[in-house]
Structure 1
Amino acid sequence: MHTTSLESFKKEINQVREYFKHIQYVNNLVDYTGLQTNNEQIESSLSTLTEHHRSFGTDKKIFEYKASIISLYGLLEKYVEIWIKEYLDSLSSLVSEYKEIDEKIRNNHFELSLKLINTIVSRESAKYQHLTKEEVLEKLNKCIVNPISYKFNTEAFVLSSGNLKHKQIVKLFELINVSLNDALKKNQTLIQYIKNEKQIKNIPNLDTDTLYNTINDLVERRNQIAHGSEVLDILSISGLEPYIQFLEKYCQALLEILVEEFIKKESISTFKKIEKVIKIFSNKVLAFEIENYTIKVEDMLIIETAEGNFYKKPILTIQLNNDSYTELRITEKANISISVDTKIKENQTFYIVKQ
């Protein structure tokens, strides 16, 4: 054992202590400035802060860099977990019977629930202390014996959510039967950002390591910090900004993909396809044949693009024989028109709520 390691530890502990001092000095200055009654005290606080900044400046940059990287990675891990679990909860509310859930998800649910039970019993992770093996078994059992009143063990699907490089996130999405790489290359939020910020035009032909290197590098930097490796490449605030921007767009794209996947499931479970489209006018008015249906303004229309994307839009107007309605009951076959606030095309497919 060497005392140098203890000295290094004490040095890093002192960085935290000094950073807390820095925060306190800033707070003191703000408090006194806010009172505006004691110029001498303000000058003293400013002098203390300035002197401390001179002596602590380099260590402060190191500490802030570490805190920033860990915080950014923490956001990635937190929200990937939240959104996957929310997606599964929403799916169980949408799909009435467990047997109608994708077979891949059902198989993964069984196997991963057993792993979750083992994790709980062996106490391998404090993360799951709020769960009991009985609760996990009860949910799993309901999927078999009472399949119309089921819930997923959502925590089971994020058991391996640590060290979230892009490849690992892809694996988590595979567990819920979502092909993430394919979906990301069609996601306009991320595509436009990459084209504009990275000046990359031919995105579909790029390998994933190149496309998502920013995420992978963020995880590597977090691992270096978490494992106590010496930090040599310290990013400034301006150097961290591209990581923040990419992480924001990347995570937004992940959520949009899950939302779109859920809408796709809705188009099957609770919506029905409009079988006979008559015509589309001005790229926003859809004329179609309908029978035995009550339609209202603000009802939702699902739109499936030729590329296989899904999104939902509220119906803004309804017309029958050039008369406008906020609600219309159709008993016999009729041609009506509805409008939405987005561009629609002849090669798209449309869905309305089942009745």
Structure 2
Amino acid sequence: MNIESLESFKRELNQIREYLKHIQYVNNVANFNLLSTDNQEFKELLNTLNEHYRFFSTDKRIFEYKASIISLYGLLEKYVEIWIKEYLCSLSNIVPEYNKIDERIRENHFELSLKLINSITIRESAKYQHLTKEEVLNKLNECIINPTKYKINTEAFVLLSGNLKHNKIVELFNKLNLDLNNELLKNEELNNEIGLNTNTISRIDKDILYNKINDLVERRNQIAHGSEAVDNILSISELEPYIQFLEKYCQAIFQVLVEQITKEEATHTFQVVANVIKVFGNKILAFEIENYTIKAGDMLIIQTKEGRFYKKPILTIQLDNKEYTELKITENTKIAVSVDHKIKDNHTFYIVKQ
């Protein structure tokens, strides 16, 4: 997963926030009352703005509302698709052989690739005009005859994925063999945004929890079909909760995929720290190791008792109460490393394979 795409999402979402802030500033100026002492040029400019504002205010509100809703939905669709494709690309870089990819993903890859070929052949959508059916078939073929150098048809997993209400996003994640509803319940920030604790959430229809996402999609659909009612337009202040919820929701989706990738790394590119001695102060892990070169900045994967996975950089390394930036260990040696994450004795730890 690419952290830059998450930053890009935040940046684009903030652009919408700034756009709405700018609208509010213009509205404030348009409603400003002139003073007799004001500069004549300023008076003329403000009078022109005031007159235009009075004439155009209703249409202006409708246009701003449409632009905001379409932009917010566009971010949802754009980044859900980007992250699903990034996830599949990451899998192909981590899992060494195609037949070791999750069976559900492999089954869906075949079926969805055939559907993608059909969409390309009939030019069902301009969205896939950069692809050819030969490219898609070649990737499928490579998965069979050259499984150690396979590539996944990532576009197949977001095939015609528009109109992304929450349940549709859940369906996309099902194709990855991920239960998005259950995974989202583990995200504390999103749960806080919803305003419910985990026990209460488990008894509620999941679709209701994400009604802001569904309402955003409905409003976008109404705009697309030209049927939005004027009295149903959200004001600038009413749009902010949608922006905030979208931010938490999308960040939670990204974190779900990051954690799954970390889990795959633990299996395929990391090795278990077999001889754990003790955890000190919830930050320091003491263990025995041999034939290994370790340095500050190396990654440590932490698996909790509940099955959560986190990847954190090693901050410090100690041997015989002396701190090192790098150690080359040839015989069985007791060392300690620290991480900026709460760790416990009942956690499982992984370091990069060497």
TM-score norm. by structure 1 comes to: 0.85
Structure-2 change in CA distance of 1:283 and 1:269 (3 Å): same
CA distance in 2 between partners of 1:320 and 1:168 (Å): 52
CA distance in 2 between partners of 1:95 and 1:230 (Å): 47
Amino acid in the other structure paired with 2:254: L
Question: Secondary structure at the residue paired with 1:346?
Answer: coil
Q: Is the 8 A contact 2:185 2:198 kept in 1?
A: no
CA distance in 2 between partners of 1:199 and 1:226 (Å): 36
Q: Which runs of 5+ in 2 are unaligned?
A: 1-22, 30-38
User: 1:128-175 CA deviation, whole Å, 9 max, x = no partner?
Assistant: 111111111111111111111121111100013111110000011111
Match of 1:20 in 2: none
Match of 1:205 in 2: 203
2:239 is the alignment partner of 1:240: yes
Structure-2 change in CA distance of 1:200 and 1:173 (3 Å): closer
CA distance in 1 between partners of 2:99 and 2:63 (Å): 51
Q: Which has the larger radius of gyration?
A: 1
Match of 2:142 in 1: 142
Structure-2 change in CA distance of 1:322 and 1:154 (3 Å): same
Residue 77 of structure 1 deviates from its aligned partner by 0.3
CA distance in 2 between partners of 1:66 and 1:336 (Å): 59
User: Which range moved further: 83-92 or 314-323?
Assistant: 314-323
CA distance in 1 between partners of 2:44 and 2:199 (Å): 56
Residue 199 of structure 1 deviates from its aligned partner by 8.4
Match of 1:262 in 2: 261
Match of 2:177 in 1: 177
CA distance in 2 between partners of 1:162 and 1:179 (Å): 20
Residue 203 of structure 1 deviates from its aligned partner by 2.5
What is the percent sequence identity of the aligned residues?
Answer: 69
Match of 2:292 in 1: 293
Q: Is the 8 A contact 1:274 1:288 kept in 2?
A: yes
Structure-2 change in CA distance of 1:199 and 1:315 (3 Å): closer
- RMSD over aligned Cα, in angstroms? 1.8
CA distance in 2 between partners of 1:203 and 1:275 (Å): 37
CA distance in 2 between partners of 1:245 and 1:201 (Å): 23
TM-score norm. by structure 2 comes to: 0.86
Q: Specify which structure has the bigger relative contact order, considering alpha-carbon pairs within 8 angstroms and separated by 6 or more residues.
A: 2
Q: Is the 8 A contact 1:291 1:333 kept in 2?
A: yes
Amino acid in the other structure paired with 2:213: I
Q: Is the 8 A contact 1:194 1:200 kept in 2?
A: no
Question: Secondary structure at the residue paired with 1:214?
Answer: helix
Residue 201 of structure 1 deviates from its aligned partner by 7.1
Match of 1:73 in 2: 73
Residue 189 of structure 1 deviates from its aligned partner by 2.4
CA distance in 2 between partners of 1:240 and 1:131 (Å): 37
CA distance in 1 between partners of 2:281 and 2:198 (Å): 33
Q: Is the 8 A contact 2:191 2:197 kept in 1?
A: no
Question: Secondary structure at the residue paired with 1:109?
Answer: helix
Residue 326 of structure 1 deviates from its aligned partner by 1.4
Residue 68 of structure 1 deviates from its aligned partner by 1.0
Match of 1:227 in 2: 225
Q: Is the 8 A contact 1:189 1:252 kept in 2?
A: no
Aligned length: 318
2:59 is the alignment partner of 1:59: yes
User: Which range moved further: 316-325 or 112-121?
Assistant: 316-325
Q: Which runs of 5+ in 1 are unaligned?
A: 1-22, 30-38
